[in-house]
Structure 1
């Protein structure tokens, strides 16, 4: 597969930016993950395509789509291997990293993308549905990250400091909240916190860690937001998952040197650097307040503060 395009997921302006890199993409059998895997392969990467092959609610499906994505990549002249393990278990995450090392002899980039939905209003949200979503989204980010980081730490200690990259997948639901998605929003917010900590801790091992908050048409969004996610009859398809992948490929390449601990929103042709919690209006009395005084001060500060964004589904 050459650097000029026409390869797996080929299109306009392929540059070979990921040439020679070995990339893991979780949840890569469909939607965003598939688009990322194809885009990396088109840019010269060797790809480990992970997908458990479950339904939208996390229940086992009849077959895994990972093999089909591998076939697409190979048919276009790229290199890929399928992995069907459960990356929300330590054994599955360890075998995922091992698949890259045993097949291609190295690992350069981890894209954490796997997830599913079990939407309920909070008063109807069962503990099992809470646990299942946090397990796949949040634990399913942590465990592959942990095993990949252990490998890169060992490489650094052996004098082979990598130019490694991790790209995590958050969501606007994790940044603003989303009605009916308390479990999903909590997990996606947790991924942002994990990204910030990992970026700080892993820098010494040559690892950069960033997150994206994508908006695209996938199995998780096309039902909940059918009106806005529908493909147009003609013109630019702003909700196509392939629109998000160029940023993911760049973040996962050596070209993104110096960019770490950041969250990007990606939708259609738009990329936004998200700016998280930082101090706003403040007041220091220098002594303890009464509750009434605290309330008076809080209201004064709120009047000076920016109005927060509206929770998705609340408007």
Structure 2
């Protein structure tokens, strides 16, 4: 390993399994000290019999690395604040936050109740916002004290948040919100030495191996394209000081492929210079659509 993260302290939420575990192990292999957060809940967000965070910490220790477990609920102010406090009290610093925690409650919109909507947005979107807020407050204080950090935040969106996904209206809305949060945070926090980016990963996790079972299945031999470990090198680089100058971006990561995602920007336009009638507006829109690129297909459509 290159030691690209030697000396850095990295917090990874939802790090007990899947992508989060892969990220934590990859950061540790590159010299970082890790705060492994995991609430230890089931796929639907309900508490499980034990937290897997301790098992990941044991893996890191067995490989010669340093890590500490954190079992707080990062979608609450107290849990998010304690996440930052754990890093500072254990290792004396915080350099990188990887927001990864999440789960699914899939329903078609007409069957999606308010609890399934609220809970998914709470864990994914609020669970990104609150750790980001508390980490940013620490880094702002450091910058104002004359100790500007080389701080990094890596958020986790999804192709569902960029294109939509049938049966996942709540998840898609939360992941789209994470992209907007990333853009705002990158703009607001740059003055304090904080870079903020997002990834839209495709990998085999508890959330995807059922929904996309055939696509996510591991091959009998050869390159395992959907292994979560394939995504982690990009996350580690974005979370390192080597990524200086890269902020406010969204990257898709799948197998051996990395893509810079290019979001909403002005396309074909027309200007009458006065108010349109409804009929005129419709006629103008139809003409503009013949000049516009077709949107990507919604997953599952």
TM-score (norm 1): 0.95
**How many angstroms apart in 2 are the aligned matches of 1:19 and 1:161?**
18
Separation in 1, partners of 2:63, 2:161: 36
Partner of 1:57: 44
Give CA-to-partner distance per residue, 1:163-220, whole Å, 9 cap, x none: 0000000000000000000000000000000000000000000000000000000000
Aligned equivalent of 1:208, options 184, 187, 195: 195
5 Å-filtered alignment, 1:1-315, equals 14-314=1-301
Which whole-Å CA distance do the structure 2 matches of 1:179 and 1:139 have between them? 23
SS across alignment from 1:97: helix
- Displacement of 1:28 in angstroms is 0.0
TM-score relative to the length of structure 2: 1.00
Give the match for residue 5 of structure 1: none
CA distance, structure 1, for counterparts of residue 290 and residue 110 of structure 2: 32
- Deviating above 4 A after TM superposition, structure 1's stretches of 4 or more consecutive aligned residues are none
Q: Deviations over 1:125-178 (max 9, x none)?
A: 000000000000000000000000000000001000000000000000000000
Unaligned ranges ≥5, structure 1: 1-13
**C-alpha displacement of 1:47:** 0.2
Describe the SS at the equivalent of 2:191.
helix
1:244 deviation in Å?
A: 0.1
CA-to-aligned-CA distance 1:81-112 (integer Å, 9 cap, x gap): 00000000000000000000000000000000
Aligned residues: 301
Unaligned segments of structure 2, at least 5 residues: none
